[in-house]
Amino acid sequence: MPAPNPDTVHLFEDCPHWKRRQKILWEEVRRDTERGKDRFKIRDLFANEKCSQAALDFLSTMDVGRPVPDPAEEDPQSDASQRKVWEREEREEESKQEAEEVGGWG
């Protein structure tokens, strides 16, 4: 069996930029399969029906695999707006997680 692509491992486990999204992914995988990333091969995420949707959702939150627009056709205003939406969604997710963690202690 071929070794996993280092870029894939980086994206799903190591990339600091996507750490919050990775945490969500692996929490969903653990909830659905009772196995965490230390006991799960990345290739199995897509093969396992219990967690393939979580893996696809994870990828849908980033620009992986999306076509790169022609720079001459790019709309900087649109890119900035989309970036703001993603940043807002990430802040909302962080707030939700923090509230759940605080609620779990009380």
In a structure prediction context, what are the per-residue pLDDT tens digits for the chain, which is 106 residues long? 556 567 888 888 888 888 889 999 999 999 988 888 888 888 888 888 888 888 888 888 877 666 766 666 655 556 666 777 777 888 888 888 777 777 655 4
CA distance 103 to 60: 29
- pTM assigned to the model: 0.56
Type of residue found at 67: P
Helices 19-33 and 76-105, packing angle to 10 deg:
50
Question: Which residues 6+ apart lie within 8 Å of 25 measured at CB?
Answer: 12, 54, 55, 57, 58
CA-nearest of 2, 31, 26 to 14 is: 26
Q: Where are the domains of the chain?
A: 1-65, 75-106
